[in-house]
Structure 1
Amino acid sequence: MDNRPLFQARWSWGPLAACTLLPVALLCFWLWPFGQILCLTFDEWLFHSLNAPLAYNTTWRYIWTVGSLRPFDIVVGLILLAVLIRGDFVFKASQVRQAFFGFLVTLILLVVIRALFSKWVDAMGWQHDSPSMVFDNVVHLSDYYPHLEKAWELKDRSSNSFPGDHASVLLIWALFMNLFSRGLVQRLVIWGLAFLFMMPRLVAGAHWGQDDYIGGLLMAVLALGWSCHTPLVAKGSALLLRWTAPLFAIARKVPLIRHMTIIR
């Protein structure tokens, strides 16, 4: 069995610099007046292309209505977790638990970055309404299914849509998985799932594209760089492995879950 550590407790200065400078470049491009015009032009086209078919295509409307429900986020989380801890897909079976805790450390760092960046966005006045609250000719899913909006938190609008926190989680998962993947099929599955699950907010108009490919991406890249290209993820995952070892020892005795790769 290969018991070599998945993460190395060292500073990788080249990748770290790239993961720090890219978010800065994205933010500068977004704040540049001409860059903002390009983003708005593209986002307006993207929104109307995705949103308009909701008015006449019932299947399209049903799919993205389900995807826009808050409880569906739990389903998405379970799917991403299942792919992450599936032994011998991206990570070897012996590395799955390490990978899980490494991603958890990265995700916690993302939450911290997101909280700080959101406060900065509010302080600088960069916040904006979602496209469903800006344009007139918009198809609101909540108008078709008002009962779902009340009972299941159907999300099709936001007065604080930047940055895209939902997209940042999907992107940090995809970037983390992509960092360790080696095959084309793996990468297609990873990025296919990430883009698919980002779509509901874009179709329903809860987010502009720039909320995701600027705001969500810059936070995800920054979190990836300062976790995986520093000693943080190696030391954090090692600490969590030690702390939870007794719990996993108990779990190995439970009939139904002891066969899971992460438990074994």
Structure 2
Amino acid sequence: MDKDIRIQAAWRWPALLGLNLLAAVVLASWLLPPSRALWDGAGLWLFQCLNGSLGHNPLWDGFWAVTSTRLSDALVGVLMLGLMLHSRWVFRVSELRPALFTFLGLLLTLLVIRVLFNKLVGILDWQHASPSTLVPGTYHLSAAFPELERLFELKDRSSRSFPGDHASVLLLWALFMGLFSRGWKLALNLGLALLFVLPRLVAGAHWLVDVTVGGVFIALLAFAWGYCTPLAGHIANGLARLCRPLWAPLQRLPLINRLRVISPS
């Protein structure tokens, strides 16, 4: 990989140890009885505040209904990918392909960690249902917007809401982008991740701990073992070799060939 590119496969021992320790502290803060009570109280209060804002203004309700759909998730994914591959946002033109493949490597790392952690959650009986199924008086967006529910599936309930998988992906993206961002771009990247987490909290699909404990725990471990070891870098190199024959045909396609990740020059 070009030494001028900031995204390099390497062992980063201080960050690896620090992120694993931070992840352990985050999880322990939820498991220990004294702080568990604080998490539970904060989660109930936040849900009642956020979900309690619904049912008063159709435009407000409609916004959160739309942003809670699978379609919205797909659009958010396109936006995240677009910002990552925008040559004037965070990464230089020469870094776009390494950034894309490294992030894919991080996502694969996250997937493995998520599967293993979900098994642990089941074995230790840490699983719980979402607040919308447990708290009386919940405003259900799926009931208020049945057409959206029928067409796109509103994410406002779950019998297994821990950990927040959606949040873990957003937080991993924010960690990766934040590592190379500065100033207002750093603030905006982090702000976007937090904003896109909110619909699940407002609709009641997740408790606060599903995001700030489960999602953060998985994202920290994925970033630690993906980026702070050579793992994601090796995956990125493998993906780069696999995709090498595709670049020439893609560069002949109208519009597609204008993307700098396709035609760097």
- Is 1:85 the counterpart of 2:85? The answer is yes
Which secondary structure does the structure 2 equivalent of 1:54 belong to? Answer: coil
Distance 1:12 1:155 in 2: 37
- Is 1:43 the counterpart of 2:43? The answer is yes
Distance 1:237 1:147 in 2: 41
1:1-264 equivalent positions in 2, closer than 5 A: 4-181=4-181, 183-264=182-263
Counterpart contact for 2:7–2:95, Cα < 8 Å: no
Counterpart contact for 1:164–1:207, Cα < 8 Å: yes
Provide structure 1 residue ranges, at least 5 long, that are not aligned to the other structure.
Answer: none
CA-atom RMSD, angstroms? 1.3
Shift of 1:146: 2.2
Counterpart contact for 2:109–2:232, Cα < 8 Å: no
Specify the code of the residue in structure 1 equivalent to 2:137: N
Q: How many positions carry a matched residue from both structures?
A: 262
Counterpart contact for 2:9–2:227, Cα < 8 Å: no
Specify the code of the residue in structure 1 equivalent to 2:100: F
Distance 2:185 2:111 in 1: 26
Shift of 1:239: 2.0
Distance 1:259 1:152 in 2: 32
Counterpart contact for 1:69–1:155, Cα < 8 Å: yes
Normalising by structure 1, report the TM-score: 0.96
Counterpart contact for 2:178–2:189, Cα < 8 Å: yes
Distance 2:209 2:38 in 1: 10
Specify the code of the residue in structure 2 equivalent to 1:242: R
Against the structure 1 CA distance between its residues 216 and 257, is the aligned structure 2 distance closer, same or farther, given a 3 Å change threshold? same
Against the structure 1 CA distance between its residues 3 and 249, is the aligned structure 2 distance closer, same or farther, given a 3 Å change threshold? farther
Shift of 1:259: 1.2
Specify the code of the residue in structure 1 equivalent to 2:261: I
Identity of aligned residues (%): 45
Distance 1:82 1:98 in 2: 15
Provide structure 2 residue ranges, at least 5 long, that are not aligned to the other structure.
Answer: none
Shift of 1:3: 6.7
Which secondary structure does the structure 1 equivalent of 2:256 belong to? Answer: coil
Counterpart contact for 1:7–1:233, Cα < 8 Å: no
Shift of 1:151: 2.5
Shift of 1:117: 0.4
Please give the per-residue CA displacement for 1:232-263, whole angstroms capped at 9, x wherever unaligned.
12222122212211101221121211110110
Counterpart contact for 1:170–1:198, Cα < 8 Å: yes
Please give the per-residue CA displacement for 1:55-102, whole angstroms capped at 9, x wherever unaligned.
112221011000111111110100000001001311101111110000
Distance 2:99 2:10 in 1: 17
Distance 1:164 1:157 in 2: 12
Shift of 1:22: 1.1
Specify the code of the residue in structure 2 equivalent to 1:238: N
Counterpart contact for 1:51–1:203, Cα < 8 Å: yes
